[in-house]
């Protein structure tokens, strides 16, 4: 990722963090993790499968740590686990 892109995403993430501070601790934590990934050079890369996270997903949710396919899989797994046992 180019330094201009890193600077732009850093500004976007910090602004979003400022807006959400005190209102959504989970989203603030996701943004902090995204800022760390920027520094590590893994921002925009799925933490589960390693694929690139789509630009649209990153625009909609800059703190996203997974691609849409992995996010959907994780949600299906959580809903399966939470099904009541007969």
Q: How many CA atoms lie within 13 A of 45 on its CB side?
A: 11
> What is the structure's pLDDT at 82?
66
Of the candidates 47, 59, 57, 53, which has an alpha carbon nearest to the alpha carbon of residue 13?
Answer: 59
Mean pLDDT by runs of 10 across the 86 residues of the chain is 90 94 92 95 96 94 95 89 66
Q: What is the largest CA-CA distance in the chain?
A: 55
Q: Contact, 56 vs 22, CB < 8 A?
A: no
> What is the structure's pLDDT at 7?
93
User: What's the pTM?
Assistant: 0.81
> What is the structure's pLDDT at 1?
79
What the chain holds in terms of domains, given with CATH numbers, is 3-81 (1.20.120.910)
């Amino acid at each position: 990722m180019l330094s201009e892109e890193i600077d732009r995403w850093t500004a976007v993430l910090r602004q979003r963090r400022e807006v959400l501070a005190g209102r959504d601790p989970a989203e603030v934590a996701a943004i902090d993790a995204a800022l760390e990934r920027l520094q590590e050079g893994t921002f925009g890369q799925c933490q589960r499968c390693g694929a690139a996270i789509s630009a649209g997903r990153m625009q909609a949710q800059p703190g996203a740590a997974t691609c849409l396919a992995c996010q959907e899989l994780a949600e299906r797994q959580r809903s399966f686990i939470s099904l009541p046992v007969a």
